[in-house]
Amino acid sequence: MLWYFSPTGTGRWVAKGLERAFPGLETADLTQPAARAVPPEIPSGELFTLLFPVHGHRLPGPLRCWLERLPETVIHQILSLQPPAGLQDRNHKGASFQHIHCRGSRP
């Protein structure tokens, strides 16, 4: 499952391209507030991807609120190619994935 938040349309364009490239990939648009009003039901063990723009080295506020409402049993990590302010990952140098936020992850 791929959810996307795309205020400018670029994320939607990427999501739709991935949908064409990977038949069977389900996508859902979280751009409008109504789409984020009810947290989704995520089956145990289900992998999901969230596509979003980075604003000021941060996860967009509407998505942070949406993620905070996910059930505690949902394990998620958000990774970005752009290092967030103040959260440098010392294990990776250069343009690598950077950890932004994690709740309930296993070691």
pLDDT in tens, 50-95: 888 877 777 888 888 888 777 766 666 665 555 444 444 444 343 3
Q: Can you tell me the mean pLDDT for 28-39? A: 89
pLDDT higher at 68 or 99: 68
102 vs 79: CA distance, rounded Å? 9
